[in-house]
A and B are shown apart, each in its own frame.
Chain A
Amino acid sequence: MNLYTSSFNRLRLPVLFKLLVFLLILFLILWMIKTSLYAGVTKVRKGQVATVGKIISHQQNPDVAIFGSSVAWVHFNPEIISNITGRSSYNFGLNGTPLTQYQGLLKEFIEYSDSEVIVIAGTFSEFSGREAVAEIYRFTPYLDNYYLYEGLEQIDPNLLWKMKYVPFYPLTTLDYNFFQYAVYGYLGRIHHDDETEVNGFVPQHKIWRDSPRETSLKATISNKVVQQYKALVSLANARNKKVVLVLPPIYYEGVMKIENLQEIKEVFQSIAGTDNYFLDYTSNEICLDKSLFYNNTHLNSTGADIFSEDFSNKLSIILKQ
Chain B
Amino acid sequence: MLFNSFEFLIFFPTVVALFFLLPHRFRWLLLLVASYTFYMFWRVDYAIILVISTLIDYLCSLMMDRHPVEATSKRKPWLWVSLFTNLATLFTFKYYNFFNTAAKDLADVLGVSYAAPAFELLLPMGISFYTFQTMSYTIDVYYGRQKAEKHFGIFALFVTFFPQLVAGPIERAGNLIDQLKEKHEFNYERVTSGLKLMAWGLFKKVVIADRLAVMVNQVYNNPTDYEGIPLIIATVFFAFQIYCDFSGYSDIAIGSAQVMGFRLMENFRRPYFSKSIREFWSRWHISLSTWFRDYLYIPLGGNRVVKWRWYYNIFIVFLVSGFWHGANWTFIVWGALHGFYQIFGFLTAKQRDTAVELLGLGRNRIFYKFIQVGTTFSLVCLAWVFFRANNISDAWYITTHMFSGFGESAREIMFNVNGAWIKYLLFNQPPNTIALSLFFIIILLVIEYFHRKDLLNSGVNSLPTIARWGFYYFLLITIITLGVFKSNEFIYFQF
State the A residues within 8 Å of B (CB): 1, 3-4, 6-11, 15, 22, 25-26, 29-30, 33, 162, 166, 168-169, 171-174, 176-177
Say whether, besides A4-B261, A168-B480, A176 and B430 are in contact (CB < 8 Å): yes
How long is the Cα–Cα vector from A166 to B10 in the complex, in angstroms?
11
User: In chain A, what residue has the closest Cβ to B261?
Assistant: A4
Nearest CB of A to B197, in Å: 11
Question: Is A22 touching B477 in the complex (CB atoms < 8 A)?
Answer: no
Contact A29 B473, CB 8 Å, known A4-B263, A162-B6, A176-B432? yes
Chain A residues near B473: list those with CB within 8 A.
25-26, 29
Task: Tell which of A4, A15, A26 touches B476, judged by Cβ atoms closer than 8 Å.
Answer: A26
Q: Are B187 and A6 in contact (CB under 8 A)?
A: yes
Min C-beta distance of A172 to chain B, whole Å: 5
B401-439 with Cβ < 8 A to chain A: 430, 432-433
A15 engages B188 (CB within 8 Å): yes
With A176-B430, A176-B432 as given contacts, are A11 and B263 in contact (CB-CB < 8 Å)? no
Assuming the contacts A3-B190, A10-B186, asked whether A166 and B6 have C-beta atoms less than 8 A apart, the reply is yes
Closest to B9 in A: A166
> Judging by beta carbons under 8 Å apart, are A33 and B481 in contact?
yes
Known: A1-B189, A29-B477. 18 other contacts (CB 8 A): A3-B258, A4-B261, A6-B189, A6-B190, A7-B185, A8-B186, A9-B185, A9-B188, A11-B188, A15-B188, A25-B469, A26-B473, A30-B480, A168-B480, A171-B480, A172-B483, A172-B485, A176-B432
> In the complex, what distance in Å separates the CA atom of A169 from the CA atom of B485?
10
Cβ contacts under 8 Å, B188 to chain A: 9, 11, 15
Which A residues are CB-close (under 8 A) to B186? 8-11
Closest to A10 in B: B186
Interface mask (B464-495 → A, CB under 8 Å = 1, otherwise 0): 00000100110011001101010000000000
B193 proximal to A (CB < 8 A): yes
Docked Cα-Cα span, A10 to B186, in Å, equals 7
How many pairs of residues, A versus B, come closer than 8 Å at their CB atoms? Answer: 54
Can you report 12 residue pairs joining A to B where beta carbons are below 8 Å apart?
A3-B189, A4-B190, A6-B187, A9-B189, A11-B186, A15-B188, A22-B472, A168-B480, A171-B481, A172-B481, A172-B483, A177-B430
**CB nearest neighbor in B for A34:** B481
Min CB–CB distance B195 → chain A (angstroms): 10
Q: Are the C-beta atoms of B485 and A173 separated by less than 8 Å?
A: yes
Set of chain A residues within 8 Å of B430, measured between Cβ atoms: 176-177
From A9, A22, A169, give the contact of B187 (CB < 8 A): A9
Contacts of B193 in A (CB 8 A): 3
Question: How far is A69 from B189 in the complex, measured between Cα atoms in Å?
Answer: 54
Q: Please name the residue on chain A nearest to B184 by beta carbon.
A: A4
Residues of A within 8 A of B190 (CB): 3-4, 6
Complex CA distance for A233 and B188, rounded to whole angstroms: 61
CA of A177 to CA of B188, assembled, Å: 40
Residue among A26, A172, A174, A176 with the most chain B CB within 10 A?
A172
Report A206 CB to chain B, min CB distance, Å. Answer: 14
CB closest residue in chain A, given B476: A26
CB pair B469 A174 closer than 8 Å? no
B207 to chain A, nearest CB (A): 11
Cβ–Cβ < 8 Å partners of B189 in chain A: 1, 3, 6, 9
Task: Report the minimal beta-carbon distance from B465 to chain A, rounded to whole angstroms.
Answer: 9
Contact, CB under 8 Å: A8 / B185 = yes
Instruction: State whether A169 and B6 are in contact (beta carbons under 8 Å apart), knowing that A3-B190, A9-B187, A33-B477 are contacts in the complex.
Output: yes
Question: How far does the alpha carbon of A4 sit from the alpha carbon of B179 in the complex, in Å?
Answer: 10
Instruction: Give the complex CA separation of A149 and B105 in angstroms.
Output: 54
Nearest A-chain residue to B10, judged by Cβ? A166
Smallest beta-carbon distance B194→chain A, Å: 9
- With a CB–CB cut-off of 8 A, which chain B residues contact A11? 186, 188
A174–B480 CA distance with the chains assembled, in angstroms: 9
CA distance in complex: A90, B469 (Å): 50
A177 to B263, CA, bound (A): 42
Please, which residue of chain A has its CB at the minimum distance from the CB of B4?
A172
Min C-beta distance of A281 to chain B, whole Å: 32
In the complex, chain B residues whose CB is within 8 Å of the CB of A171: 480-481
**Chain A to chain B: the 7 pairs with minimum beta-carbon distance, closest first:** A3-B190, A8-B185, A172-B485, A9-B187, A176-B432, A9-B188, A171-B480
